[in-house]
Structure 1
């Protein structure tokens, strides 16, 4: 289901124009793809921020002249401190075509204690239907034991998605955390004596 946004064409460009838009509570964006010239847009800030919580959200962009475009978010730029939306790159998509997108990996369940699950690949690149992009890839580690390794080729993909990422890429590893032992009092005392001995030898040589 596409998120509908009422958008406006932008005629002023540059950092100053973009800054003014953001002050007005809007987000500057550029739309491109399918051989069309880039179209500069102004998006409603609040609605766009809600839609952008899903980085692969499908957007229906409605212009004042009645035309609409279906698009996916290609890149998000955020304010370095406020983390608010600063600019969006949008790519036009059409029904029936496939696109390559990075889908977040999310773990469910808990492995057998004291083992923990470590995510080595935060996303997997999939080729999917442009109008049916999954929000995430869920991998269950419920009851998994120490030593389990899951590679990209082992992951069950949603729908008719196809794996683009290397199938041999390690995605999740279940392991028992290693705890470094603190030195005992005897070891600390021995290290202290060695340090003192070295200092005395240095003094004698001088």
Structure 2
């Protein structure tokens, strides 16, 4: 593959990085939590380059001389991608060996509880964000003591809508119901204080 073909290929693949994260990354650079910039500089040895929505730096998973690792932010979490086709798991392992990533046990965990129309607990979703940028989801049902037990099969036939009591009240009061993708965004909108009298519900498919 000649140089011009490789440059075109790289530009095409770089364009696949979500462009709507540009503002987030710039804000991160200007704040105290400068993990994207710090990682790029630690790997780049002076060869790192800053772009509007990412940094390009040397990939630790192969003998890199021309920065081919994109480092960026997705939903507030550090992420990266090698444009020389190194697997993300290989990059993650190389970063850990250099002490540039914390252990996987340092993952961020959030719980989202679902209730029936009367507010009784029915099920819960565990969302884990790994340090390599990946996410894991697990579903739980509740026993008679209110303890979370893994799995829904045989216990929850039809998962309810998230925030169901508020949705029912909104319909009864002829208020607006906002449908957003994912429990995290429901709770985030609540935290921002947007339209507090209008319930927010995730799209359940």
Output the TM-score relative to the length of structure 2.
Answer: 0.27
Q: Which has more radius of gyration?
A: 1
Which of the two has greater helix per residue? 2
Which of the two has greater strand per residue? 1
Output the TM-score relative to the length of structure 1.
Answer: 0.27
